[in-house]
Amino acid sequence: MIKLIGLELKKLKRLSVISEVIIYWLILMFMPLLLIKIAMPVLGQSYAAAIEHLNLNIQMGLVLFGGSLISQVFIDEYKNKTISLAFGYPISRKKLFMAKVLFISLFVFLTAIISFILTGLTTYLLDQVFPFINGQPTNSDMITFFSSMISGSLLITLISFIPLFLFGILKRGTISTVICSILVMNLPKLSYFSNFEQEYILAVMCILGGLSIYLSIITAESVGEI
């Protein structure tokens, strides 16, 4: 399995992916400052308020990065018909799909972890120079931040797979996968305009992401090559 994951890394368009990741990081690093200064100054009342309301909501943008990886790892291989070569390996298609899913999972998770750290560090340093959050982060705030970083990264990783089965494997459409990812990353915002709690929305999204992975793997032998 490790060799298969390594093979996916070799096939990846690394320059394109690295450039995309850097762009995401640069945007997300400065997002708390922009939101608090321009759109939601109430969140600058304390670090606790900023962490609670901004952390996961900002990083949900990485769901789109997950969609981009699905496009490269699955859809491009179908379109270029290079997946036919992979199906010729003396391994089951289920194992091959599992390796692809694990590769995307690791990439998105690590990207999210680093993004959380960069965003948190940038927010703190900017606040020291241009104060926009009242007070200083407490030990409790730090614990909350790091716990939300781990849980948030796991949530983002799982949710990013929602487009996989329908749009990535069955439809094999890059544009539809990206559009689905954009819609998915904005779904938690429904809690601001409805009676739905954000936790319930996220729970449903995680279930959909897990179901998408499950269906993709169990149908790997029957989805066809072209």
pLDDT tens for each residue of 73-88: 999 998 888 887 777 7
According to the model, what pLDDT value does residue 178 have?
A: 96
Whether pLDDT at 46 is above 60: yes
pLDDT level of residue 224 (50, 70, 90 thresholds) = low
More confident residue, 221 or 167: 167
User: Averaged over 76-105, what is the pLDDT?
Assistant: 88
User: Averaged over 1-22, what is the pLDDT?
Assistant: 89
According to the model, what pLDDT value does residue 27 have?
A: 94
Out of 84-88, 204-208, 221-225, give the one with best mean pLDDT: 204-208
Dist CA 218 CA 221 (whole Å): 7
- 140-157 burial, b at 16+ Cβ within 10 Å, e below that, comes to ebeebbeebbeebbbbbb
According to the model, what pLDDT value does residue 158 have?
A: 97
Q: Terminal CA-to-CA distance of the chain, rounded, Å? A: 24
pLDDT tens for each residue of 137-170: 999 999 999 999 999 999 999 999 999 999 999 9
pTM of the prediction? Answer: 0.93
| Residue 221 phi, psi dihedral angles, 5° rounding | -75, -15
Please answer whether residues 99 and 192 qualify as being in contact, where contact means their C-beta atoms are separated by less than 8 angstroms.
no
According to the model, what pLDDT value does residue 225 have?
A: 59
